[in-house]
Homo-oligomer: A and B are copies of this chain.
Amino acid sequence: MPPVRPPRYDAAQPLQFGGALPDPPAYEPSAAVVLPAPLDRTTSYVPGTRNGPRELLAASSQVELWDEEVGGDVHDVGVFTLPEMDLTSGSVDDAVRAVERVGGEILDAGKFLVTLGGEHSITSGLVAAAAKRHPGLTVLQIDAHADLRDSYQSQRHSHACAMRRTLEHAPVVQVAIRNISAEEVDALPGLRTRIFYDWNMRDDPQWIDRAVDALSSTVYITIDLDGIEPGLMPAVGTPEPGGLSWRELTTLLRRTFERKAVVACDVVELCPIPGMASPNFAAARLVYKLLSYKFGLRR
C-alpha cells in the first residue's frame, strides 16, 4: 500500500526567504543559506528582537527578485532557509556555541551564510566559525554602538559586548559608530579595531574606500540594523540619531563585495514595531542586496 501523502497545492512559505518562489530550493544545491537565530536575552530598553527573523522573512516575499543595480536575478543560485534556531533555553554562552557549530557546518558545505538575529551576541560565534575556516579574516561591522565593553550587567555575552568577544577571533572595522562609553574608549589602544565615527567619518570624501581598504581580503560582514539612520530603520532596540543612509549603506556594501571575498554576513537586532511594515521590509531588502552583490556582481 502506498504511503499517505499530504495533498499538493500552491503554497506560500511565509518563513522562506522570498516566500513566493514556486519551487523552494533543496539544501544541497543551494549556494546561499539563511539561518534565523533569534537570540533574545539581554537587550535593554525595548525588547522584541525575538520576532525579528520571522517578520523579516514574512516581508521578504514582497522583495522583487530582479535587482536593477546588478542587472540580474540571483535567486537561481539557490537560497535555502533553515528553520528558526530555538535559543530560548540555556545560557547565552550555550547559544553562541550552538550558532558557531551550526554556522561552521554551513560554511563547511561551501555555502554563503546569512544569519538573521536576534541579538548581536551571536556574531562572535559566527565569526569564530568563519575565522577558523578563513585565517586572516577581518570583520566589517555596521553599527551605532561600538559594543566593545568587556562585560555589561555582569555578563560577558551581552549585546553590549558583542564586538569585544568577536575581537577574540578577528580584527574589526567599525562604521557609523555614535555610541561608545568612556570605558570602551580607554580600552581602544589595546584592541584590533578601527573605528569610523559617524560624526566625522564623512569629513573625508573617500571614507567609504578607506573603510574597505582597512579590511583584509576575506571578510565577514555584521550589520546591526541600528547602524542605519533611524528614520529608515526605527525598529531597533536602541535607536540612535545619525547613521548611514540607504545610499551610503549600499555603496559601502557593494564596494566591499566588489573588492573582497565576503564569506558570510549577519543582519541583527531587528525589533519589529507592531503595525509598521516598512522597517521589516527594508531589512528584507538589505538581505537580498547582500545576495545580489555576492552572486550578481562581476568581480
Residues of A participating in the B interface, judged by any CB pair closer than 8 Å: 3-7, 9-15, 20, 27-28, 33, 40, 44-48, 50, 54, 58-59, 61-62, 64-66, 68-69, 73, 80, 82-86, 88-90, 98, 101-102, 105-106, 109, 145, 153-155, 177-182, 184-185, 197, 199-200, 229-232, 234, 236, 238-242, 246-247, 250, 273-279, 281-282, 285-286
Q: Is the CB of B273 within 8 A of A276?
A: yes
Q: Is the CB of A7 within 8 A of B73?
A: no
Which residues from B are CB-within-8-Å of A62? 44-45, 238
* Min CB gap A55→B, angstroms: 10
Which residues from B are CB-within-8-Å of A28? 3-4
Give Cα distance in the complex from A24 to B155, angstroms: 24
Contact of A154 among B90, B181, B246, B274 (CB under 8 A): B90
CB-based nearest B residue for A69: B199
Q: Is the CB of B13 within 8 A of A84?
A: yes
Q: This chain: how many copies in the complex?
A: 6
* Min CB gap A173→B, angstroms: 16
Q: Is the CB of B68 within 8 A of A199?
A: yes
Which residues from B are CB-within-8-Å of A179? 64
Which residues from B are CB-within-8-Å of A278? 230, 234, 236, 239
Contact of A239 among B46, B154, B250, B282 (CB under 8 A): B282
Q: Is the CB of B47 within 8 A of A86?
A: no
Which residues from B are CB-within-8-Å of A185? 66, 68
Q: Is the CB of A281 within 8 A of B242?
A: no
Contact of A47 among B9, B50, B275 (CB under 8 A): B50
